[in-house]
Amino acid sequence: MKVIKIIAESSKSTLKHKLRTVLIELAILVGIATLTVVVSLTQGANKRIMKRIANFGSDAIMVHSGGGKMHGPSTVQQANLTRKDIADIRNIAGVRFTTPIQVELDMPLKYGNQFTTAWVMGVEANWQDAWRRGAARGAFISDADNEQLSRVCDIGTTTAKELFGKMNPLGENILIRNVSFKVIGILEKRGQSPAGTDFDNLILIPFSTASRRLMNQPLYTSMLRVIIANPAQARQIAGTISGILRENHRLAATEEDDFRISTAEQVAKMIKSTSKTLGLFLWLIAVISPLVGGIVLMNIMLMAVSERKHEIGLRRALGAKKKHIIFQFLTESVILTFSGGIFGVGVGVLIALLIRHLGKPISISWQPFAIAFVISVLIGLLFGVYPAKKAANLDPVEALNQ
Amino acid sequence: MIELKDITKSFQNGKIQTDVLKGVTFSVQKGEFVAIMGSSGNGKTTLMNIMGCMMQASGGSYTVEGVDIKTLDDDELSEFRNKKIGFVFQSFNLLAGTSALDNVLLPLVYAPEYPDDATERAERLLASVGLEDRIHYKPGELSGGQHQRVAIARALINDPAIILADEPTGNLDSDSLKEIMGILQKLHEQGKTIILITHDQNIAAYAGRTVFLRDGKIYEGAK
């Protein structure tokens, strides 16, 4: 009962001192809004990262031609995987199947008077199973297309939009570096590739057509996707592949690999490490800004205590104990930070929606709300304690004569 | 009922010690209306603060209804003030922006039990000081005399043992002065114990008995 009465005194007081209330709420609002945006951004980014990792496939191992520390696909110019390499890899125990990929980046495309560029990949029919991605409309490249060196292609949705706008691309002919290809299918949408690029700005053509007609690389293959039976064996099989390739390529012990092997685990590690620095910086801001809000609160509450000495003295004279004064001022702080927190979450969500509208990945879930409420109450308690104690420890006689 | 025995109070200001009260001894019976007179600088306010349990004496003993005030800690003092002392201040000390009713109810916020009939009680008290039609007015909308009447109602809300009035008419015009003193007299007639602190002989004349505070000591009756 008494608690409720004192809480009522506190809320009356926050309504009475409007400027002070607005200033404190504003400070907390900025802090909590920042926190909300950062949490949403981080969650959005994490979600996208998880998608990228999922897009790689947990049962997949990618073998890239050419060594070094580069990320992303190997192109046909680097290609050095031989037919023997591929056959040996396919024979490793635990490997379900492999699919070769011939890659050339940013090839010029033309349809009518529309120009664009896209990655062009030469693939076999089992690419669909290897990536769990086929044609959303039309047909996928078949074994027959590969045998006949057909000039047909499946195109990604981004490429389709660039070249055809709202037109139906199926059955149309496009030029890939001046060679004409017939569009037979539209690929399922995928979003970001594991390398972080647009996985829908892509053209697939038959592997044989790519090697012999378009990219002039009949001997070697630029990439091999290996699908294994048990994802837990990924690391072990990757080691076996490495051994086979080093032997086949006759590399001396001192020589570096002339190929790269990546597993889902490594891709995840790589993606996470690149996104870490930004995340850390954002979190720093997210932590600092509510603290600044707390310092503002403490400042204004200290001012309020010295302005309201007389009132404190009066309350003491009328029988308020020290703990009542502490409770009243602490409650005032928490009311202010909590309401500031509510506004802050509101503004934060609005900003997050705006950022999403601008095309950045944002995930809005219940977490920012929970975090904001807990943090705002904590700030009120933490930064409100000192002013409240100061108020309670005033000498009642001196305070009343103020 | 109220007994001060050899009360002393000194203040330390740097190396200088000031003895404000030098052995105050007197008692007040239940239902008495006593005026403590003295010119300013004679320790009236200090005495009032000690009697109001706002500060502890340096020496001597002060008992109210058998309770030795010296033995009370800060929390107990607060509770004692809340239950036993009704303050009427020279400067009224109402909470600004708060209605007359809420000002009267303020001591109950800190009372151990919040009575169910608190609001009716406060309204009754406000009516008894002639403010039945000003219950929801805020201090800014009330005159000086009305301020003090609200303050008197506030002093009565906990039915205290002592009403301690420190220059209650110091800030009032002569009409309001008569009203306020009339109210205090009426309370005295109803059996309340009232201690009035003043420098004004005309005000002291309202009381049943006058004691004089001079050079930190109390003198009964004569000047």
> What confidence score (pLDDT) does residue A77 get?
85
* More confident: A252 or B41: A252
The 10s digit of each residue's pLDDT in A120-161 is: 999 999 999 999 899 999 999 999 999 999 999 999 999 999
- Per-residue confidence at A70, pLDDT binned at 50, 70, 90? low
> What confidence score (pLDDT) does residue B223 get?
45
Q: What percent of chain B has pLDDT over 70?
A: 99
Q: B67 — contact with chain A (CB < 8 Å)?
A: no
> Is residue A1's pLDDT more than 60?
no
The 10s digit of each residue's pLDDT in A270-299 is: 777 766 666 788 888 888 998 999 999 999
Chain A with chain B: Cβ pairs closer than 8 A: 67
Q: A370 — contact with chain B (CB < 8 Å)?
A: no
In 3D space, the residue among A18, A11, A4 whose CA is nearest the CA of residue A329 turns out to be A11
Q: A138 — contact with chain B (CB < 8 Å)?
A: no
Q: Cβ contacts of residue A315 below 8 Å, gap of 6+? A: A324, A325, A328, B106, B110
A-chain residues within 8 Å CB-CB of B158?
319
The 10s digit of each residue's pLDDT in B118-145 is: 999 999 999 999 999 999 999 999 998 9
Q: Hey, how many other C-beta atoms are within 10 angstroms of the C-beta on A84?
A: 10
Q: Which two tokens stand for residue A146?
A: 């590969």
Q: Which domains, ranges and CATH numbers included, belong to chain B? A: 2-220 (3.40.50.300)
> Is residue A383's pLDDT more than 80?
yes
Q: B55 — contact with chain A (CB < 8 Å)?
A: yes
Across the interface, whether the CB atoms of A317 and B109 are under 8 A apart is answered no
Q: Cβ contacts of residue B190 below 8 Å, gap of 6+? A: none
Q: Which two tokens stand for residue B101?
A: 């009713």
Across the interface, whether the CB atoms of B95 and A311 are under 8 A apart is answered yes
CB A302 within 8 A of CB A390: yes
Q: What percent of chain A has pLDDT over 70?
A: 98
Q: How far apart are CA A280 and CA A82, in angstroms?
A: 43
> Is residue A172's pLDDT more than 80?
yes
B-chain residues within 8 Å CB-CB of A323?
75
In 3D space, the residue among B102, B77, B108, B7 whose CA is nearest the CA of residue A397 turns out to be B77
Mean pLDDT of A64-76: 79
For every residue of A120-135, DSSP letters joined together read EEEE-TTHHHHHT--E
Q: How far apart are CA B69 and CA B66, in angstroms?
A: 9
> What confidence score (pLDDT) does residue B13 get?
85
Question: What 3 state SS string does A179-196 have?
Answer: EEEEEEEEECCCCECCCC
Q: What is the pTM of this model?
A: 0.75
B-chain residues within 8 Å CB-CB of A311?
95
- Per-residue confidence at A335, pLDDT binned at 50, 70, 90? very high
The 10s digit of each residue's pLDDT in B160-213 is: 989 999 999 888 898 999 999 999 999 999 999 999 999 989 999 999 899 999
Go through chain A and tell me how many residues it has: 402
Tokens 């064996």: give the residue: A233
H-assigned helices in A151-263: 157-164, 207-209, 234-248
Each domain of chain A, given as residue ranges in start order, spans 2-52+275-400, 97-222
* More confident: B43 or A181: A181
Q: Which two tokens stand for residue B117?
A: 């009939």
Residue A272, SS3?
A: helix
The minimal CB distance from B54 to the residues A2, A9, A397 is found for A397
Q: Hey, how many other C-beta atoms are within 10 angstroms of the C-beta on A118?
A: 24
B-chain residues within 8 Å CB-CB of A19?
none
Which whole-number Å values give the CA distances from A121 to A116, A203, A225, A267, in the listed order?
16, 6, 13, 21
Q: How far apart are CA B162 and CA B159, in angstroms?
A: 9
Closest-CA residue of chain A to B46 = A397
Q: How far apart are CA A324 and CA A35, in angstroms?
A: 33
Across the interface, whether the CB atoms of A319 and B78 are under 8 A apart is answered yes
In 3D space, the residue among A201, A269, A196, A200 whose CA is nearest the CA of residue A48 turns out to be A196
Across the interface, whether the CB atoms of B52 and A317 are under 8 A apart is answered yes
Q: B119 — contact with chain A (CB < 8 Å)?
A: no
Mean residue pLDDT of chain A comes to 90
Q: A389 — contact with chain B (CB < 8 Å)?
A: no
Segment (H or E) for A382: helix A367-392
Mean residue pLDDT of chain B comes to 91
Mean pLDDT of A336-350: 93
Phi first, then psi, for residue A15 (nearest 5°) are -75, -30
Question: What 3 state SS string does chain B have?
Answer: CEEEEEEEEEEEECCEEEEEEEEEEEEECCCCEEEEECCCCCCHHHHHHHHCCCCCCCEEEEEECCEEHHHCCHHHHHHHHHHHEEEECCCCCCCCCCCHHHHHHHHHHCCCCCCCCHHHHHHHHHHHCCCCCCCCCCHHHCCHHHHHHHHHHHHHCCCCCEEEEECCCCCCCHHHHHHHHHHHHHHHHCCCEEEEEECCHHHHCCCCEEEEEECCEEEECCC
> Is residue A179's pLDDT more than 90?
yes
The minimal CB distance from A320 to the residues B78, B93, B112 is found for B78
Go through chain B and tell me how many residues it has: 223
Put residue A57 in one of left, alpha, beta given phi > 0 → left and psi -120 to 50 → alpha.
left
Phi first, then psi, for residue A119 (nearest 5°) are -70, 135
| Half-sphere exposure in the Cβ direction for A112 (13 Å, CA) | 8
Q: What percent of chain B has pLDDT over 90?
A: 76
A66 burial (CB, 10 Å; 0-12 / 13-18 / 19+) is middle
- Per-residue confidence at A51, pLDDT binned at 50, 70, 90? confident
> Is residue A314's pLDDT more than 50?
yes
Q: How far apart are CA B133 and CA B222, in angstroms?
A: 44
Across the interface, whether the CB atoms of A319 and B95 are under 8 A apart is answered no
Give how far B49 is from chain A: nearest CA, Å: 7
> What confidence score (pLDDT) does residue A309 get?
94
